[in-house]
Amino acid sequence: MAELFFKNPDLSTPEIAQKLLGCRLRRKSSAGVTSGIIVETEAYLGEKDRAAHVYGGKRTASLEAFYQEAGIFYIYNIHGHWCVNMITQSKDEPQGVLIRALEPVEGIDLMQSRRKQDQRRLLTNGPGKLSQALGVDKEVDYGTSILQGPLSIDFHDPRPVAEIARGPRIGIPNKGEWTHKPLRFYVKGNPYVSSPKGRTQTDHGWLA
């Protein structure tokens, strides 16, 4: 099921970004297991995308994962925190999805300890926050399969989303039309989204 999901040539990266909503991101470590349901993503569309790391065909050792087959993690550092991306297209088609926010599920106490944060809503409501809460480590997780290893995505029985909202990606000014393209997707009404719009819903935006 998972391989059909992320190795389907008929699925665009924005479509994959939406289908990831409701799936679970999990990390196992010697300290314990932590996980959360994906509630917010951003799509990055390769060499033509002015906000992408590979814009203009940039290719370095640290970007090499972007150019590999779909289904691996690309981990990078911003403001001192790791961010988790999933590579989405075929080899040498460097596109991916940034996982921006999670609704915490497993290992809440461990997340709170790592984040030094007691408020559950603030544990994983941003790409750097969720990586810190899960204990993501580039040395361990970069370039690994999204289906196995310490960091993984569980595609089985994703939580059904009532409504997917979309808007511009966050924190990418001065990129021309790419600043405003609606390539950010999130569960409408979910309190764990990084920049929630409108009312938080009691059901957190899930159908079940």
Model confidence at 198: pLDDT above 90:
no
Superfamily name and number for 2-187:
Methylpurine-DNA glycosylase (MPG) (3.10.300.10)
**Would you mind telling me the total number of residues written for the chain in this entry?**
208
**Which SS3 state, helix, strand or coil, does residue 141 take?**
helix
Q: What is the pTM of this model?
A: 0.95
* CA count, 13 A, side-chain hemisphere, 23: 22
Model confidence at 1: pLDDT above 60:
no
Helix residue spans in the chain (DSSP H): 2-6, 13-19, 108-115, 127-134, 138-141, 177-180
Task: Please state, in angstroms and as integers, the Cα–Cα distance from residue 87 to each residue in 17, 96, 104, following that order.
Answer: 11, 4, 23
Are 181 and 16 in contact by the 8 Å Cβ rule? The answer is no
For residue 134, with 0-12 CB atoms within 10 Å meaning exposed, 13-18 middle and 19 or more buried, which class applies? buried
* CA–CA gap between residue 122 and residue 126 (Å, rounded): 8
Model confidence at 197: pLDDT above 80:
no
Helix (H) or strand (E) holding 33: strand 32-44
pLDDT at 9: 75
pLDDT at 76: 93
